[in-house]
Amino acid sequence: MLTSLSIKNFGLIDQFEIEFFHRLNVITGETGAGKSILIDALRYVLGEKLHSSQIRNSDTQCSVEAVFELSKMQINEFAEFAEYISEEQPTLIILRIHLPDGRIKNKINGFRVTTSKLKLIGNHLIDFHGPYEHQLLFSEQAHIKILDRLCKIKETKNDYQQLYNAYLNLHNELHKIHQLYQQSQEQLDLLKHQIFELEQVPLDTKKYSEIIQEHTQLNNIERLNEHTRQLINTLDDEQTGLNKTIINAFGALKALNTIDQSTTTFTEILSRIQDDSSELLSSLHNYLEYMSCEPEKTS
């Protein structure tokens, strides 16, 4: 039940606090005395909107605090709010503050909560009704709660809720699995179609070999360049290269030829070797230049 209500800077009220007692409480007064302000303040602290005209002084904060003492039966109804309420803490303190900059702070037993959660809790606490408004007994949700109490099916209801939640979790998992299956089937269909398209293309073994060769070259282009440079250095090094060795050999053969004319054939052979070496060196330079352009294909 509601045990106290504290109001600051709300409507005509600067500061006011009222306590309520068990059983029936009646507030009386002349028209305009401010009875409805208490109802408006109670509605506000339970999540209703606040109009700027309801703030007494807009330069200071407006606050309403309501204190409730809950019965054991009510605590059971608040099972979904166990983080704020328990049998060890049956007192429920709701504080709502409207700051001058328009921000609103909602607190339940010191914990910050959203306005939607505040409204949800308020629906369990108080039923506001007037002469022409629907009363609690006309609420289908209230009928269900009353029926549950009379049948004493709290434990059965909790068991059912747990089973239902487990069912929902399994249903969601099944839905995810079905989606994954659908995606895998779509991917499989796409791959089958691509394979079919490839199978329709006439196979040119020569062209295929050329593609494989080019692929191998591109994957090993750094190694190919390195080995080619090594070969060029081996042939064309000024000190130890093959060409330098051939030149030195020509000098030795010249001396040999002056002594024995039959060794002139050696000079002819060495000349062919020199020509082949020059051709090989030129080819290697061309190959190195060609390979230096190949990385552009991979970019």
Round to whole Å and give the CA distance between 63 and 48. 13
- What pLDDT sits at residue 295? 57
Q: Do residues 10 and 62 lie in contact, with contact meaning Cβ atoms separated by under 8 Å?
A: yes
In tens, the pLDDT along 32-83 reads 777 888 989 999 999 988 888 888 888 899 999 999 988 777 777 776 677 7
| pLDDT tens string 196-254 | 888 887 777 788 788 888 888 788 888 888 888 888 888 877 777 787 888 888 888 88
Alpha helices by DSSP H, 201-263: 205-219, 221-236, 242-259
Q: Supply the pLDDT for residue 209.
A: 84
Q: Most confidently modeled of 2-16, 124-138, 237-251?
A: 2-16
pLDDT for 133: 52
CA dist., res. 168 & res. 162, Å (int): 10
DSSP annotation of 262: G
User: Phi/psi of residue 250, each to 5°?
Assistant: -60, -40
Residues with Cβ within 8 Å of 299's Cβ and at least 6 positions away in sequence, in order, are none
Length of the chain: 299
Least confidently predicted of 1-5, 116-120, 240-244:
240-244
Integer CA distances (angstroms), 29 to 32, 33, 36, 64, 84, in order: 8, 6, 10, 22, 36
**Helix spans in the chain (H):** 35-45, 72-77, 115-125, 140-151, 154-200, 205-219, 221-236, 242-259, 264-293, 295-298
Residue 298 confidence (pLDDT): 47
Task: Give all domains of the chain, ordered by start, each with its CATH number.
Answer: 2-135 (3.40.50.300), 206-298 (no CATH)
The string of pLDDT tens digits covering residues 166-181 is 999 999 999 999 999 9
